[in-house]
Amino acid sequence: MSESSLSIGMLLFPELTQLDLTGPYEVFARAPDANVHLIWKTLDPVRSDRGMGILPTCTFDTCPALDVICIPGGPGQINLMDDDETLSFIRTKSENAKLVTSVCTGSLVLGAAGLLRGYKATTHWASLDQLTLLGAEPVNERVVRDRNRITGAGVTSGIDFALNVIADIYGAEIAQSIQLHMEYDPEPPFTSGSPRVAPEEILEQAKKQIAPFIEKRRLATEAAGRQLLKNN
Amino acid sequence: MSESSLSIGMLLFPELTQLDLTGPYEVFARAPDANVHLIWKTLDPVRSDRGMGILPTCTFDTCPALDVICIPGGPGQINLMDDDETLSFIRTKSENAKLVTSVCTGSLVLGAAGLLRGYKATTHWASLDQLTLLGAEPVNERVVRDRNRITGAGVTSGIDFALNVIADIYGAEIAQSIQLHMEYDPEPPFTSGSPRVAPEEILEQAKKQIAPFIEKRRLATEAAGRQLLKNN
């Protein structure tokens, strides 16, 4: 880590789920002397899966050294699973990073880059089993740490994840202060936020609704897994 | 409300706190047939208080009729408190909206537009008392509803707020399904997210740190309060 400031890089790719990025960004950007970089291949606006346009701040070519690299998830993740340019960028930047991290299905991208082999990790609940295809050990927890890898579960877990990252780097007091400024004292209106607690009919309906998409994702994960074996 | 789709408009103004907007956006954009509009004076990228660039989707002139209007908060809110163009736009669009809403200090902007006189409302904990200057009744809760006004507390409350809004419009099952897809089963790493629960020294330090800014905000709120009385 550089001595005077912390360099945090988040991948901003087309059809990402924007809250996977914007939740942790809000936490990271409040850390003392942190610079948060939003990284993509060009500086053109990137559209999220639901249409929000967000501006990258640097490209693969201009991105500085990173103390923390963070890969968010979302449907666009599928296109990254065999994108050599992106996987190679992630691998290179991760070599000297203090923490290599992800939110939601960003961990599948880390896995496709070969960075989770032999590591415990998590991802969105509907794709958790796919981590084994990339040599990782799926753990059904909201934030999972194994050595210098920290992975968060689905979408909103990014806030919990990022507070953990900040506590790891700056200590608990800074993280507690950021949590207070962000008034993060959640009161979900329903008990429905994970398969563990959601009403059975809501869970079954959700699974059915996303099944075709999850199978499409699985094909990409399987192909990435085969590529990893071939590269070894 | 239009019969076939729901039109939700969120104000995207310079130096907003982006998670005030991006949290609810993620919930709103997942509602069936919802169109979420990000509204500002021009279509140029808008910078958040911490530098994220986000693209508006329409201007005050091109914004369609809104079923739900939502004003997020953040330091840039101060500049809106005497911005007649913006306050007039909000007033006009609110006339025919089913729900008039805000997150964080967006409620102070609603108040400056004269839309919270005689209403219970909330805002970020550090500015809650300022609501009285605009004729509103501050309520120290995470999400406050009074007739067709729904206001959320600070920053991260926007997710709880938006799930409440969706439940109000579409019913509990749709909101529960969105909560599950977003894996919103929060596990804050610390008990520090509100003055009620934060460690005393963390709270005192936070209050001290933001005191000068809160006083700046208070001057703007007082001026807006005087303007409201003059207009009556």
Residue numbers in B near A155 (CB within 8 A): 26, 181-184
Residue numbers in A near B202 (CB within 8 A): 173, 176-177, 180
* Strand, helix or coil for residue A224: helix
Q: Which of A18, A197, A206 sits opposite B26 (nearest CB)?
A: A18
Q: Under an 8 A CB cutoff, do B54 and A57 touch?
A: no
**Complete DSSP assignment for B13-79:** -TT--HHHHHHHHHHHTTSTTEEEEEEESSSS-EE-TT--EE--SEETTT----SEEEE--STTHHH
Q: Which of A124, A173, A182 sits opposite B156 (nearest CB)?
A: A182
Closest to A126 (Cα-Cα) out of A197, A17, A208: A208
- In 10 A of CB B4, how many CB atoms? 6
User: Measured at the alpha carbon of residue B198, what is the angle toward residues B193 and B203, in degrees to the nearest 5?
Assistant: 105
Q: Which structure tokens are listed for A22?
A: 């914007």
Which pLDDT score is estimated for B231?
Answer: 86
Q: Under an 8 A CB cutoff, do B183 and A51 touch?
A: no
Query: In this structure, are residues B80 and B13 in contact, taking their beta carbons and an 8 Å threshold?
Result: yes
Nearest CA in chain A to B188: A160
CB contact burial A159-196 (16+ within 10 A = b; e otherwise): bbbbbbbbbbbbebebbbbbbbbbbbbbbbbbebbbbe
Nearest CA in chain A to B202: A177
**Complete DSSP assignment for B132-201:** GGGT-EE--SSEEEETTEEEE-STTHHHHHHHHHHHHHH-HHHHHHHHHHTT-----SSS-SSTTTS-HH
Active site residue B104: yes
Task: Tell me: pLDDT of B36 over 80.
Answer: yes
Cα distance from B211 to chain A (closest Cα, Å)? 13
Residue B155 to residue B104: CA distance in whole angstroms: 6
- In 10 A of CB B84, how many CB atoms? 9
Which pLDDT score is estimated for B1?
Answer: 43
User: Measured at the alpha carbon of residue A24, what is the angle toward residues A22 and A30, in degrees to the nearest 5?
Assistant: 100
Which pLDDT score is estimated for A1?
Answer: 43
Which pLDDT score is estimated for A211?
Answer: 98
**Mutation target among A40, A145, A192 for the B interface, most CBs of B within 10 A:** A192
Residue B66 to residue B8: CA distance in whole angstroms: 6
CB contact burial A28-60 (16+ within 10 A = b; e otherwise): bbbbeebbbbbbbbeeebbbbbbebbbbbbeeb
Residue A66 to residue A165: CA distance in whole angstroms: 14
Residue numbers in B near A42 (CB within 8 A): none
Amino acid at A150: I
From first CA to last CA, the distance across chain B in angstroms is 30
Of the listed B58, B63, B70, B104, which one is catalytic? B104
Nearest CA in chain A to B196: A185
Cα distance from B150 to chain A (closest Cα, Å)? 14
pTM here is: 0.97
pLDDT in tens, B76-98: 999 999 999 999 999 999 999 99
What domains sit in chain A, N to C, each tagged with a CATH number?
6-231 (3.40.50.880)
Residue numbers in B near A19 (CB within 8 A): 22-23, 25-26, 182
Which pLDDT score is estimated for A231?
Answer: 85
Average pLDDT over residues B17-21: 98
Place of tokens 């360099």: A7
Which pLDDT score is estimated for A162?
Answer: 98
Average pLDDT over residues B43-71: 98
Which pLDDT score is estimated for A232?
Answer: 73
Digit-by-digit pLDDT tens for chain A (232 residues) are 445 699 999 999 999 999 999 999 999 999 999 999 999 999 999 999 999 999 999 999 999 999 999 999 999 999 999 999 999 999 999 999 999 999 999 999 999 999 999 999 999 999 999 999 999 999 999 999 999 999 999 999 999 999 999 999 999 999 999 999 999 999 999 999 999 999 999 999 999 999 999 999 999 999 999 999 998 7
Q: Under an 8 A CB cutoff, do B187 and A143 touch?
A: yes
B110: pLDDT confidence band, cut at 50, 70 and 90?
A: very high
* Proportion of chain B above pLDDT 90, given as a percent: 97
Residue numbers in B near A194 (CB within 8 A): 180, 183, 185
Residue B176 to residue B181: CA distance in whole angstroms: 9
pLDDT in tens, B117-168: 999 999 999 999 999 999 999 999 999 999 999 999 999 999 999 999 999 9
Q: Which of A22, A157, A190 sits opposite B183 (nearest CB)?
A: A157
Task: Tell me: pLDDT of B3 over 60.
Answer: no
Nearest CA in chain B to A142: B187
pLDDT in tens, B160-174: 999 999 999 999 999
Q: Under an 8 A CB cutoff, do A180 and B163 touch?
A: no
Cα atoms found within 13 Å of the Cα of residue A58, Cβ hemisphere only: 17
